């Protein structure tokens, strides 16, 4: 009986990995019996147990089965792990080579140079295609500084310098709707700049503005910025085209204004543009009215001054600090015969600040309208912005051979793609930022 017990426990010892479990099992089996129950007989010779233990010890050869049969040795798991790791490495290398070959032969993917493991958009590989995160942060900081400088140039009525700043910001952050819309706005603001004299140049600057507005809509179609910029650009471009194109652009500008209001009902500029559309359509001549009726029927009904006034009033409610809303509302009041309301709006507008070139020109219109109502003499002021006058005076004082100021690039040079390095460097100095690697 003892021989069969030792043999059965030897199987358990072989499974658990050593003779310690055998001794523990025997002691547990004898200790767990109830008093008076069946007990194992005492061994007559200790040598027999020692011989059994030696036979089950590691290195003593394979253990014997219950009937003397030899059991197969236990497999080495470390060797299996090594084989599995080697097989996995070979598989990953084969998949990587196959993916790279496939990417090299597919059309349009010839520029794929990233390793296969970097082609996944994992959280730590997000910036693999566009450079390091540090470079991305530096580009964003530089674009922000350029945009701030562009707004400053805009307040100083230096539209061409503002164009350059916002264009450089768009190059650094191509998908930013705010930068793209400001670039479009500044390009369109060149329409009424003092040295833009030909209709061809006015068309070109607005076509450039439409290009940036399209990029803005593509980058963020749900935001109001691109639709507002597109409405402004097409509305101004219509002023310098033939009658058929004028009607088509008027229809497209109206649709842009509706879309802008749908994107953000509380955007004051969108309501102002809708008011401008109603006001301009209310003043079209008989030829254009007939052409509108032929091309669009009743889908493009002429606007009314009452609708224009309602839109200007709504814009003034949303942004009471913006000068252009009150001036346009005062103009419509005067044309409707509401003199007291018109004068009140114009006087209130003259108390507001000038934020850009549009507000500067609109303020001149307010002064002219008030002079006409009061029957006072009025002289057209110079259309040259103060910064340009000061720059010309400095250049004249320095002599003919003096270098031109940083922001004195012409509109034709701007359209041809010429840029002044001083604009970028000045913006960098103002923001206390190092120059980018491309500008170094």
Q: State the burial class of residue 341 (Cβ atoms within 10 Å of its Cβ: 0-12, 13-18, 19+).
A: middle
pLDDT (tens, 9 = 90+) of the chain, 440 residues, equals 444 444 444 444 444 444 444 344 444 444 444 444 444 445 445 556 566 655 555 544 555 555 555 555 555 677 777 788 888 877 877 777 777 676 665 544 444 455 544 444 444 444 444 445 666 888 888 899 999 999 999 999 999 889 999 999 999 999 999 999 999 999 999 998 888 888 899 999 999 999 999 999 999 999 999 999 999 999 999 989 888 888 889 889 999 999 999 999 999 999 999 999 999 888 877 777 777 777 766 556 667 899 999 999 999 999 999 999 999 999 999 999 999 999 999 999 999 999 999 999 999 999 999 999 999 998 988 888 888 887 777 767 776 545 444 455 677 777 777 666 777 677 667 666 665 554 43
Place of tokens 């008030």: 370
| C-alpha distances out from residue 100 to 104, 114, 135, 203, Å | 6, 9, 27, 48
Q: Give the Cα separation of 132 and 128 in Å (integer).
A: 7
Q: Give the Cα separation of 314 and 267 in Å (integer).
A: 10
Answer whether 0.95 is exceeded by the pTM.
no
Superfamily of domain 138-241+407-433: Tetratricopeptide repeat domain (1.25.40.10)
DSSP 8-class letter at 201? H
DSSP 8-class letter at 70? B
Q: How many CB atoms lie within 10 A of CB 206?
A: 27
339's CB contacts (< 8 A; 6+ apart) are: 333, 373
Question: Please, what's the b/e burial string for 139-178 (b: 16 or more CB within 10 A of its CB; e: otherwise)?
Answer: beebbbbbbebbbebbbbbbbbbbbbbbbbbbebbeebbb
The conformational region for residue 68 under phi > 0 = left, psi -120 to 50 = alpha, else beta, is left
Secondary structure class of 318 (helix, strand, coil): helix
> Residues spanned by CATH 1.25.40.10 within the chain?
138-241+407-433
Place of tokens 């196959």: 98
């Amino acid at each position: 009986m003892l021989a069969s017990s030792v043999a059965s426990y030897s199987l358990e010892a072989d499974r658990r990995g050593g003779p310690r479990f055998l001794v523990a099992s025997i002691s547990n089996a004898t200790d767990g019996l109830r008093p008076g129950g069946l007990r194992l007989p005492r061994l007559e010779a200790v040598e027999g147990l020692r011989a059994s233990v030696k036979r089950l010890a590691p290195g003593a050869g394979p253990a014997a089965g219950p009937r003397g049969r030899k059991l197969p040795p236990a497999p080495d798991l470390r060797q299996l792990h090594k084989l599995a790791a080697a097989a996995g490495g070979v598989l990953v290398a084969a998949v990587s080579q196959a993916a790279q070959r496939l990417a090299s032969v597919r059309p349009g993917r010839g520029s794929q140079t990233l390793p296969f493991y970097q082609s996944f958009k994992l959280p730590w590989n997000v910036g693999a295609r566009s450079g390091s995160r540090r470079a991305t942060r530096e580009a964003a900081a530089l674009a922000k500084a350029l945009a701030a400088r562009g707004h400053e140039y805009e307040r100083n009525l230096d539209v061409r310098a503002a164009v350059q700043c916002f264009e450089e910001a768009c190059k650094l952050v191509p998908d930013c709707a705010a930068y793209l819309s400001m670039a479009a706005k500044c390009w369109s603001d060149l329409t009424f700049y003092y040295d833009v004299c030909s209709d061809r140049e006015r068309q070109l600057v607005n076509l450039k503005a439409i290009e940036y507005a399209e990029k803005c809509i593509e980058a963020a179609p749900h935001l109001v910025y691109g639709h507002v910029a597109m409405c402004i650009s097409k509305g101004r471009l219509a002023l310098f085209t033939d009658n058929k194109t004028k009607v088509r652009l008027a229809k497209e500008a109206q649709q842009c204004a509706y879309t802008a209001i749908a994107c953000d009902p509380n955007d004051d500029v969108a309501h102002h543009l809708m008011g401008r559309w109603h006001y301009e359509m209310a003043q079209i001549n008989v030829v254009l009215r007939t052409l509108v009726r032929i091309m669009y029927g009743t889908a493009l009904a002429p606007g009314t001054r009452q609708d224009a006034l309602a839109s200007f009033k709504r814009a003034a409610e949303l942004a009471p600090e913006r000068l252009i809303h009150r001036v346009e509302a005062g103009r419509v009041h005067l044309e409707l015969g509401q003199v007291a309301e018109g004068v009140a709006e114009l006087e209130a507008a003259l108390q507001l600040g000038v934020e850009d070139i549009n507000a500067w020109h609109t303020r001149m219109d307010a002064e002219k309208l008030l002079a006409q109502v009061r029957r006072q003499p009025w002289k057209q002021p110079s259309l040259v912005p103060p910064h340009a006058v000061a720059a010309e005076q400095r250049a004249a004082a320095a002599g003919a051979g003096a270098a031109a100021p940083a922001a004195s690039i012409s509109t034709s040079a701007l359209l041809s793609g010429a840029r002044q390095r001083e604009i970028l460097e000045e913006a960098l100095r103002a923001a206390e930022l190092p120059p980018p690697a491309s500008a170094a």
